[in-house]
Amino acid sequence: MSTTTSTAEPTRQEAPDQARPPSSPGWLRRAGHWWPGVLLLVLFIAPYSALQVPGLFDGPVGSPGTLQLLALCLVFGALATGYDLLVGRLGLLSFGHALYFAAGTYATNTIMLEAGLPFVASALLGLLVGAVLAALLGSVSLRVTGIGFSMVTLAFAQAGSILVQRDPGGITGGEEGRAAPAQQLPASLVGIQHTANLYWIALAYLVVTLVAVHWAVRSPTGRVWEGIKENERRVEVLGLRPYGFKLLAFVLAGTLAALGGIVYLLLTGGATPQTTTSDFTLSLLVMVVLGGSGSRWGPLIGGVLYTWADHRLGDLAGSGTVAGLPAVLRVPLSQPLFLLGTIFVVMVYVLPGGVVRLPGRLREARTSKRSLGQAG
């Protein structure tokens, strides 16, 4: 009896060990926690780099042109992250998010031009305008749900776009927009020699957005948002009012968008009506879907990739290589939007969960291949 028992026990102990997959090394797990900080450090020191990345950028990483493009990528990555609060966290498909981005841009610029206030004071007032506008229009839009909500937000955005293009009182500049007054801006933010400062401001905006969104999603309110997305009626049964929680997310997303509009004003040196169109919001939706809606890093990745591709494909479309192609290829390839659309359709079919799901899919493929190999 004792011999049989002592022989069987090791057999039972060995079976789980054989089935247990090998654990990751400790340093690899620690690296998984620290990589955002390392990436942030790399981004911070980018203006000091003379590294050449052919194909990705035209010049060294620290050159003004490359820093300008990187700053725009960071701004739109952050903007997509804030927009995903509505789309990915609450399931609210807003077609008017561009309105709050434009509100930050136009309000700040108009206050500097008309009231003569310095940039910092104008930016604070512009941010306040964006937050109040999001609260007012969100309180109306959220009275309806589903496609009705989308249509109401689209109507508000279209009204804002028409108002800007009509140029009431000459304060918006109409279709031409209005340049930011250089004399009202800090000297450290004016001129190509100070592009690095603008880049760091864009990086700071990205950090603020990521921290705000991460904190909000991990908070008790964020858990209510998750419940609303899954089953709003169940949240009501628990005695909570979904309307107030949705309005809070709407205002937070709108305020972050207005802050992004202020940073965009610094990067581009003016306010233009292109930021008020519904096409602008559709671009944000494409960024979110491309990166992976509802994930922590997906919207950021999608925003960066989309913005980079938008600029680089524009250069490709106007290049001599495309100009020398036969008409049947030259005509479509000379349209950047055609190239972007084609890439987006391919990505949706190849990676339906977004770029952020790619590592998981690769792991699943390796696991399936290993299982088939063991079975064979």
CB 89 within 8 A of CB 75: no
CB 93 within 8 A of CB 252: no
Counting other chains too, the contacts that 21-25 makes at CB distance below 8 Å and 24 or more residues apart are none
Instruction: Tell me the one-letter amino acid at 161.
Output: S
Rg for the chain, CA atoms, rounded: 25
- Output the furthest CA–CA distance in the chain (Å, rounded): 99
Give the CA count within 13 Å in the CB-facing half-sphere of 41.
Answer: 5
Both structure tokens of 151? 């249509």
What pLDDT score does 339 carry?
A: 72
d(CA 58, CA 53): 8
What topology does CATH give the domain 58-375? ABC transporter involved in vitamin B12 uptake, BtuC (1.10.3470)
What pLDDT score does 32 carry?
A: 58
Which residue from 302, 181, 301, 205 is spatially nearest to 259, judged by alpha carbons?
205
> pLDDT tens, position by position, for the chain (376 residues)?
444 444 444 444 444 444 444 444 555 455 557 778 888 899 999 999 988 888 788 889 999 999 999 999 999 999 999 999 999 999 999 999 999 999 999 999 999 999 999 999 999 999 999 999 999 999 999 999 889 999 999 999 999 999 999 988 888 888 888 999 989 899 899 889 999 999 999 999 999 999 999 999 999 999 999 999 988 899 888 889 999 999 999 999 999 999 999 999 999 999 988 888 878 888 899 899 989 888 889 999 999 999 998 887 777 666 666 667 777 666 676 776 777 777 778 877 877 778 888 777 777 777 777 777 676 6
HEC assignment per residue over the chain: CHHHHHHHHHHHHHHHHHHCCCCCCHHHHHHHHHHHHHHHHHHHCHHHCCCECCCCCCCECCCHHHHHHHHHHHHHHHHHHHHHHHHCCCCCCCCCCHHHHHHHHHHHHHHHHHHCCCHHHHHHHHHHHHHHHHHHHHHHHCCCCCHHHHHHHHHHHHHHHHHHHHCHHHCCCHHHCEECCHHHCCHHHCCHHHHHHHHHHHHHHHHHHHHHHHHHHHCHHHHHHHHHHHCHHHHHHCCCCHHHHHHHHHHHHHHHHHHHHHHHHHHHCEECHHHHCHHHHHHHHHHHHHHCCCCCCHHHHHHHHHHHHHHHHHHHHCCHHHHCCCHHHHHHHCCHHHHHHHHHHHHHHHCCCCHHHHHHHHHHHHHHHHHHHHHC
What pLDDT score does 73 carry?
A: 96
What pLDDT score does 343 carry?
A: 76
What pLDDT score does 153 carry?
A: 94
Q: Where are the domains of the chain?
A: 58-375
**Residues near 76 by Cβ (< 8 Å), separated by ≥ 6?**
284, 287, 303, 304, 306, 307
Both structure tokens of 360? 């998981």
CB 143 within 8 A of CB 237: no
Instruction: Tell me the one-letter amino acid at 274.
Output: Q
